[in-house]
Structure 1
Amino acid sequence: MSSPGVIHIDRGSKVASKKATYRVENELGEGGFGSVYQISDMENLYALKLTKMWTFMPHERIEFAKRFRQEYDYGSRITSPYIVRSHDFDMLEGNPFMVMDLCTGGNLRDLVGKTFGSQKLDEIAHGILMGLKDLHDEGIIHRDIKPENILFDENRVPKLADFGISASIKKRHTVANFMGHAKEVFATGTYSPPEQIDPKQAMKVMGPSNDVYAFGAMMYELITGGRLPFGPFEEFMKDMAAYEQKKKEEKWDRAALEKSSPDQKWVEIISRCIRYRPEDRFGTIDEVLSVLGYQPVREEPGPEVYPQSDWVLRVQNGEEIGREYHLTNLKNSKSAGVLTIGWFNTENPFSNDIGIAEYFTEYISNFHATLEYNSDDYHWYIRDGQWREKGGVPGWYRSTNGVLVQGSRIDEGGKKLKPGDIIAIGDTTLKVVINQK
């Protein structure tokens, strides 16, 4: 990546993309990585987010550019009233920028320390949860839920922002130092689930429960007027290992929550959100919404499944976003309705029927999963692991890091796939799609 230019944007400056020319109205904020400006295209007001690429070390630029582009891609392809939408993307002297919805109502951090009635608190939580649901339905885990990333529009509707470290980043998010402690933590550790901090666990349990944990910690802070369940950020930075041990032992200040909460249901919700083991938390956003008192959104019925249905796995996150694996075509090219999924080995590219590319992480096994077609109900079933020979002993061997379907771990017994299901394998998520012929 070539060296970016050092640029200064003043009020009244013009910023041009391939789609439009924008006028800078004023600067909204500045951080270590970039700045945000209010802009207009002479018809509408937007926010422009610029990354100061010149401030990064040369070896960091490619990775941060990928994250920034990823944030734009997510915000442009997901249509949701609870997610900040991206409208444009380009470069300014080697510095990437994106044009997004302008949210004039501030962020959730502005509300920490204020007192809320039960109805207002529920409304804020509902909007955040609906944004998370819309993300998760597309196979995206936010992984950086905190007050600064919850913005409000002019109607005070909360919107999720900043997908810069979402689960599709093409490298390990947490790097261990020689003591085994986290050295590089992109998410704010006081909100992060324990498994996200631990590089040995990070990809074994990547699913909705990661965001559920952060949501619980964030709502605890909002309800208690600025406290965090396991202690302040300064304590986390002073002794990360001790802080994470408190998470493991679930030693948090329940009394402060009970005293501050306008409704006891929040004690139940947060208690279950910040459990140490992912399987002990709420498994889906719908479960949280139900306890909060909202009926789950009625899902539109999926497409009918027929013998001639064209089943597709589409990469939502990972190295090859947008790539499609046509299961029906792959099945027809084989004598049996069994397909294998595993790491794409460039030296043996046909070792699996579906090879998942993985360049920056090592979470996908050579023999990760198996797909089996059932001609009686015209559906595919996915199983963790493959039948193979290991150490001279034939048998069914499971993968190292497991397989998730709709956020739940599956085993060798298998699970029936439905249109719209999200499959997580390592750092890659795939969406089950049906194309009718």
Structure 2
Amino acid sequence: MLVDREKIAAALPSYEVGRQFGSGGFGLVLEGRHRSLGRRVAIKVLTTPEPAVERRFLAEAQVMAAFDHPHVVRVHDYADHEGLCLLVLEHCPGGTLSDRLDAPVRPETACAITLAVADALHAAHARGIIHRDVKPDNVLFAEDGAAKVTDFGLAKIYEGSVVTSGSLVGTPGYAAPEQILGQPVRPASDVYALGGVAYHLLSGRPPFPEGVPIAEMLHRQLHDSAPIPVGMPPRFAEVVGRALRRDVAARTPSAQEFAVALASAATAELGPGWLMRAEVPLRVEEEVRQAATAVARAGRTDVTVASRTERRPRRADRGSAPGSGRSAPAGTGRHAAPEAEDGPRYPSGPSELLSTSEVRRRIDVWASHADEGPSRRTLLLLLAGLAVLAALSIGAGAVVGSLQR
């Protein structure tokens, strides 16, 4: 794809233009550097000069510049020069989440990345913005390893209720059924896509098989539920399964509620300190942070997720502005701790399809297996100790008898 670098330089005189390191359906991405500040940036260049695409490109710039969030790619500048549209973004050298899905992702890391995306979506929803294209390709990693949501080109503004999609938007395999049908979308539509991302991270494969015709994939999304992989811990299965409900009314309604539920499940399944083992920076709302750092008791946490009517009022309900009041980073920075040996392992390939009762039975057996080992060892040690004591008693009796004779 040819790039007129002189034209780009004329449109952005404050920036040095570097090599190309990405491309998409409507444009490409170049490296850049601010001449005075020395700040590295990514320059997104629109190469499809169509009015509808240009409007979407500008909408992306406006939406991403509307709020500053630690898990959303920042917008530094926008230029429209002689028919050339340019968007200057935060440089994220860590690549996309899709790049990391080629290899198994540790469950601690998977949960932390999902929580980061969920918190970014919650902040967008609080400002009336629905992303509508949440997928691994649209999650980038900053220089410090933090997950960043990008590409709000399909984002739509809603007035507190729902908006009509009007046409199929989003990516097959992650788009919610109501998006596929062109029906009204809402924050729960992003939650569905987020559930698909969590499914992929935790199981090692997307919720619906790739490599099939789009029509077949869309049909499966509309009529079939993604099968929960055998071996996925029950708490994760419950959280992800609810987010992937086809019926909007039965689905997790908000990204924040999904985040609290997943954080609680991670604390229960992975044990205390799981967030430190995740090795990715995480800056989330206080309610989510508390659920993620709760102290577990006997391998299970006492933190539970109440129903929507029972939960305490959210920050906005207590008079604070949406998205405000962030706590200090939880589990920030990279840690050189070795990979935990006591955490669950997930299958990376396709699993056999079983009935729901059989899946639950196997999950329960899997989850309880770790608890059976210590009990058996304790029993064996106790029996061995009793045997030693018995032998010593018999020997002492024999000695006493001999002395008496």
State the TM-score, normalized to the length of structure 1.
0.56
**Match of 2:226, as an amino acid?**
W
Partner of 1:219: 198
Matched residues in 1 for 2:138 and 2:237: separation? 23
Kindly tell me: are residues 79 and 280 of structure 1, through their superposed partners in 2, closer, same or farther at Cα, counting changes over 3 Å? same
Q: Give a deviation string over 1:352-409, Cα, whole Å, max 9, x none.
A: xxxxxxxxxxxxxxxxxxxxxxxxxxxxxxxxxxxxxxxxxxxxxxxxxxxxxxxx9x
The alignment covers a number of residue pairs equal to 272
Q: For residues 72 and 259 of structure 2, what CA distance do their matches in structure 1 show?
A: 17
1:108-147 matched pairs, under 5 angstroms: 108-147=97-136
Q: Given the alignment of the two structures, is residue 252 of structure 1 paired with residue 226 of structure 2, yes or no?
A: yes
1:40 corresponds to = 33
Correspondence for 1:243:
220
1:53 partner letter: T
Residue number in structure 2 paired with 1:193: 176
- Judging by fraction of residues, say which structure has more helix: 2
Aligned residue in 1 for 2:17: 24
Given the alignment, which residue of 48, 52, 59 partners 2:47?
A: 52
Deviation at 1:113, TM superposition (A): 3.4
Aligned to 1:277: 247
Higher relative contact order (CA 8 A, sep 6+): 2
Amino acid at match of 1:198: L
Distance 2:222 2:25 in 1: 30
Aligned to 2:274: none
TM-fit CA distance, 1:229: 2.2
* CA distance in 1 between partners of 2:204 and 2:102 (Å): 4
Between the aligned partners of 2:213 and 2:8, the Cα distance in structure 1 is 44
State the secondary structure of the residue aligned to 2:129: coil
TM-score (norm 2): 0.61
Write the distance in 1 (CA, Å) between the matches of 2:104 and 2:115. Answer: 18
Q: Which amino acid aligns with 1:231?
A: P
- Structure 1 residue 41: Cα displacement: 1.5
CA-CA distance at 1:297 after TM superposition:
2.5
Displacement after TM superposition at 1:76 (Å): 1.3
**Structure 2: gaps (5+ residues):** 268-283, 288-307, 309-316, 323-405
Contact 2:173–2:221 (CA<8 Å) still a contact in 1? no
1:53 to 1:14, Cα distance in 2 relative to 1, 3 A? closer
Tell me the secondary structure at the aligned position of residue 53 of structure 1: coil
Cα gap change, 1:47 to 1:146, in 2 (>3 Å): same
Tell me the distance in 2 between the aligned counterparts of 1:25 and 1:229.
37
Q: Which letter does structure 1 place at the counterpart of 2:43?
A: L
Gaps of 5+ in 1: 1-5, 55-60, 176-184, 300-407, 409-416, 423-437
Q: Tell me the CA shift for residue 220 of structure 1.
A: 1.3
2:273 is the counterpart of 1:297: no
Shift of 1:34: 0.4
CA contact (8 A) 2:31 2:40 kept: yes
Contact 2:188 2:248 (8 Å CA) reproduced: yes
Structure 1 residue 91 corresponds to structure 2 residue 50? no
Distance 1:136 1:172, change over 3 A: closer
- Cα deviation, 1:412-433, whole Å, max 9, x if unaligned, reads xxxxx996799xxxxxxxxxxx
Partner of 2:53: 64
Tell me which of 142, 148, 161 is aligned to 1:159: 148
Q: Secondary structure at the match of 1:252?
A: coil
**Cα distance change on mapping 1:53 and 1:113 into 2, 3 Å:** closer
Q: Residue type of the partner of 1:135?
A: A
User: Paired residue for 2:209?
Assistant: 231
Q: In 1, are the aligned partners of 2:209 and 2:217 still within 8 Å (CA)?
A: no
